[in-house]
Amino acid sequence: MVTTESFGARLRRAMDTRGPLCVGIDPHASLLAAWGLDDTPDGLERFSLTAVEALAGRIAVLKPQSAFYERFGSRGIAVLERTVAEARAAGALVLMDAKRGDIGSTMAAYAATYLDPASPLFSDAVTVSPYLGYGSLRPAVEAARESGCGIFALALTSNPEGAEVQHALRPDGTTVAGSVLGHLRAENAGERPMGSFGAVVGATLGDTIAAAGIDLDTGGPLLAPGIGAQGATPADLPVVFGAALPNVLPSVSRDVLRHGPDVTALTAAAARIVEDVRAVVEA
């Protein structure tokens, strides 16, 4: 069903009421083993539904990583469909971490997979890659507008390899990442209380963004991976994001999931991180 309320408005409300946190559901083999589960579709299902039980009623956003389901073929995708449906039914917004990027009809098909309400994988938002040119994302942007969903485009990612593309200079002197952010700023123009077209910006980047003179304020959400296992902490967020801090949605995975399979421990771990982030954002 198409919502009449934009993703940005729904996300703003979820962040304000449940706290600014996204928890990734990343059921890789080592985590399944740590939970005492087999690396099978059945183990995948128990892992995913336990995470949903512990988190979906309390956390603003859940972010299943599609690759960890795809590796099991059709049975894995069936688990992903159920995970998405049950998480949304429990009140969480679902951000599908698929990082899709292509051109023309192929990009349109990806958009239909995640942003069409008729799709069994329909999510509130999806991660996309703009590195075939931002214009290649147009089918996803249009589908998101039509269905009241959102996208998160990779801009300044936390992996060190990303810099060779993202920090490259265009003929006009702007960085490639800066250009992506500029396009998102245009998509979000005039949207209140927050736009629906977000960027992925790593929380591990320290003061390199400010030093490069990159403006992160796009009027939309900023998904910030890197807290926890990758070395960043909530205290790093003001340094990285500056004036854009109120729209930052930190993303964690292992620092919560390592507390499973105990539902109470998972819930408590996520709650602690929410409070740590709130203390920084609301300071």
**Structure-block tokens of residue 92:** 């969480």
Contact status, residue 224 vs residue 241, Cβ threshold 8 Å: yes
CB atoms within 10 A of CB 53: 15
Contact status, residue 65 vs residue 26, Cβ threshold 8 Å: yes
Q: Is the dihedral of CA 93, 99, 105, 106 positive or negative?
A: negative
The residue type found at 260 is G
Set 13, 28, 82, 99: catalytic member: 99
Contact status, residue 49 vs residue 263, Cβ threshold 8 Å: no
- Residues counted in the chain: 283
Return the SS3 of 56: coil
Q: Is 63 a catalytic residue?
A: no
The residue type found at 189 is A
C-alpha distances in Å from residue 276, one per residue of 43, 51, 234, 266, 273: 31, 21, 6, 16, 5
CB atoms within 10 A of CB 209: 22
Known catalytic residues are 99
